[in-house]
Chain A
Amino acid sequence: MNIKSVAKKAGVSVATVSRVLNHPDAVAPDTKEHILSVMESLDYKPNWMARGLKLNRTGAIALLIPEITDFGYMEIAKGVEDVAHQKSYNIMLCATEDDKNKEKGYIENFIDRRIDGMILVSTYLKKSDLVQIRKQDIPVVLIGKNEELAEENLVYTDYRAAAAEATRHMIEIGHKRIGVIYGIKPKLENEDKLEGFRKTMEEEGLPSPHEYFFAEENSLEGGYLAASKLLNLEERPQAIFVTSDIMAIGAMEKIKQSGLSIPEDMAVVGFDNLKLSGYLEPKLTTVTKPMYRMGLIAARLLFDLMEESQEDAEPQEILIQSKLKVRKSCGHKDRVKEIF
């Protein structure tokens, strides 16, 4: 079954059938309906590979994330998928595992496959690499900002400001000795959070001694382990700022096992706002990391670039705000975020 058979049965030219497939708006509604019904009766399915070659499109975009099992990156993928689905596009999803070479390999592969556009999350690429990709006429949108990559189409959130807001909130509650549990990865993002924390403590005239910082794997186990070490300190902190919810959940488990209550003996504030965090006891105060929204917007930006000639368009940098979500683990039993 091919396009010629459809044209013959419908009594129209091949060009008209082709227009129905590629530019349906350019076909009169009655004709379009007739041709579609013929296609259905013949069970005709276009050959997408051949169609892709003709249109110079593959109907797929690539999404490259650092880690495939991470909840946050999955939320980005969901955001990208929601938009791609609306546009009848598929996604090629790959993970770099924070490995620069793996990232390069994947990108070369995307270019070889003539992918229609790509979204790169927390990339290690340099400006010159992006210029190379653009020479292939493949639009790129980045999620996450690093110092090297200014003036690109990118979507990012300000981790420093968000960590500062969380820290300031803990200080306002009355916590003076605040420990930090942070993940070794993702490196750049966590460095920003630590900087936001340190700067705020300094501004408030509070110490943030070296022995109050604990780095572990960004996992439940990592959080548990870090909390075990922290609880052994001679002068225990009154509160802990944790750079991810998953580590915070691990840490909370250790704190509870040690017979301490949260937040009375030890307050905990996480980062990410995983869905799960609202179901814990006590409910985890955290910072929303708008991963899903970043995925949505990055995909929207990418389709804009793919659909329109953007040669002269200025690159768009879109900041998505992370916000403190006050729940119960930081020291409030009866208050809700709406009163702050």
Chain B
Amino acid sequence: MTLAIDFMGLKLNNPIIVAAGPWSRNGDMIRKAILAGAGAVVTETIVNEVNIDVRPRVAYRNNGVQNIRLYSDILLEEWEREIDSAKSNGGIVIASICAQTSSEISFIAGKMEKIGADAIELGLASPMGEGLEVMAASAERIYEMTRKVVSSVDIPVMVKLSQNVTNMSKVACAVERAGGSAISAIDTVRCILGVDIKSRKPCLPTYGGYSGNPIRPLGLASVATIAQSTKLPVCGIGGIETYEHVLEYMMLGASAIQIGTALMLNGFGHIQGIKNDLERWMEANDIQNLSELRGAALSGIKSFDEIQVEPKISHLKDACSSGDCHKCISACIYGALTKNAGEVFLSPELCRGCGLCSDICPEQNLELIWP
């Protein structure tokens, strides 16, 4: 049994890649991530012109994070030393880079290859400091930039995509046509985390990128779409906190995954925990290699037209024992669930089989069945 994977020609000892972000902002942090067991680390996004940090730049609410930090604050020349330091204990380092034109980005890519990056990730999807149309929103632009970078370096080129696009399939196909080696998705999602109603001000003073647990369903949908649109290996990103999340992404087509916000909140030690859990699960489920699982859930995604209409209705497995809990009753918009003398009753005539009560019941005491 092994966690090792082959990802765009790179031999990773496990599929957990540390995503681009402030936690991979310099050589020392990257080295620590590698020592903590990451399969590879993506650098914070490197640009020609560094930016000064604003303060504050990160906000946290309801398991989600908004951040407004713009790219790496280390000069290209200094990254040479940083990559050396990052790889002083071995490991795989992927350089995330960003620029606005194909000639500029291929110039940076060339530099990164020269200073020892093992692969490139094109970070053209970040919503921070950008207008509504991020570069990754345009299939033509992504094609042009990917093609130029692919033609100027010999290392693999992965392209990070945004969920903030009209047609992700088109953009993914553009990466494949342009010769990209892999696609990673998704970047953070444009957000305003919240408003402090006392001061009447937003949590942070500009639109930012949303990450963490709440964006996982967006990431999952994007990864499934990319996996169904192209043959490229996919690296799933968005809200991964546990081994189950890793498996969900893989079953929807991801070969590897990236993790960022969970490390910002819990530290690099979190990586080993996920790896241990994955191994235990693989052993318990007799899985030798993670590639066996890749895309296993894709066939379960049907076109709406293909879904069979079945006369299923909800069903109480056992008599309900949670005295004061009315969750299923409040949630049933068809009035099928009622309570009488402390006991929950389900009316098969009124139930329309929507399925909500079975997810809402804290005891998992409701399920959909054929009547």
Contacts and interface: CB of A to CB of B under 8 A. Distances in A.
Contacts of B76: 296, 300
Given A338-B130, A338-B207, A296 B100 contact: no
Interface stretch (A61-69, A80-88, A199-207, A256-264): A80-88
A321 B101 contact: yes
Interface in B54-83: 75-78
Given A319-B103, A338-B206, A297 B48 contact: yes
A339 B132 contact: yes
Nearest to A292: B49
Contact of B100 (A292, A301, A320): A320
B104 interface: yes
Interface size, B (range)? 10 to 19
Given A86-B77, A323-B100, A296 B49 contact: yes
Interface string B117-132: 0000000000001111
Contacts of B312: none
A7 interface: no
B103 A316 contact: yes
Nearest to A336: B206
Contacts of B111: 300
Nearest to A295: B49
B234 to A, nearest CB: 29
Contacts of A279: none
Interface string B93-124: 00000001111100100010000000000000
A297 B105 CA distance: 11
Interface of A is mostly: helix
Contacts of B104: 297, 318-321
A317 interface: yes
Nearest to A297: B48
A293 interface: yes
A337 interface: yes
Given A336-B206, A338-B207, A82 B75 contact: yes
A86 B77 CA distance: 7
B230 to A, nearest CB: 28
A83 B103 CA distance: 19
A290 interface: yes
B77 A319 contact: no
Contact of A338 (B100, B101, B131): B131
B48 to A, nearest CB: 5
Interface string B225-250: 00000000000000000000000000
Contacts of B130: 338
B290 to A, nearest CB: 39
B100 A321 contact: yes
Interface residues of A, number: 24
Among A87, A320, A338, A339, which residue has the most Cβ atoms of chain B within 10 A?
A: A338
A293 B130 CA distance: 18
A297 B131 contact: no
Contacts of A82: 75
Contacts of B102: 319
Contacts of B103: 316-319
A297 B107 contact: yes
Among B103, B111, B129, which residue has the most Cβ atoms of chain A within 10 A?
A: B103
A91 to B, nearest CB: 15
Contact of B77 (A83, A293, A297): A83
Nearest to B127: A338
B78 A290 contact: no
Contacts of B132: 338-340
B190 to A, nearest CB: 8
A336 B107 CA distance: 31
A293 B206 CA distance: 24
A232 B130 CA distance: 39
A164 to B, nearest CB: 16
Interface string A152-192: 00000000000000000000000000000000000000000
Interface string A271-309: 000000000000000000010110011001100000000
B171 to A, nearest CB: 20
Contacts of B48: 293, 296-297, 300
A63 to B, nearest CB: 17
Nearest to B152: A316
A319 B101 contact: yes
A316 B132 CA distance: 31
Contacts of A338: 129-132, 206-207
Contacts of B129: 338
Interface in B12-59: 48-49
Contacts of A83: 75, 77
A87 B100 contact: no
Interface of B: 48-49, 75-78, 100-104, 107, 111, 129-132, 206-207
23 contacts: A79-B49, A82-B75, A83-B75, A83-B77, A292-B49, A293-B48, A296-B49, A297-B104, A300-B77, A300-B107, A301-B107, A319-B102, A319-B103, A320-B101, A336-B206, A336-B207, A338-B130, A338-B131, A338-B132, A338-B206, A338-B207, A339-B132, A340-B131
Top 6 closest A-B pairs, CB basis? A321-B100, A86-B77, A293-B49, A319-B101, A318-B103, A338-B207
Interface of A: 79, 82-83, 86-87, 290, 292-293, 296-297, 300-301, 316-321, 323, 336-340
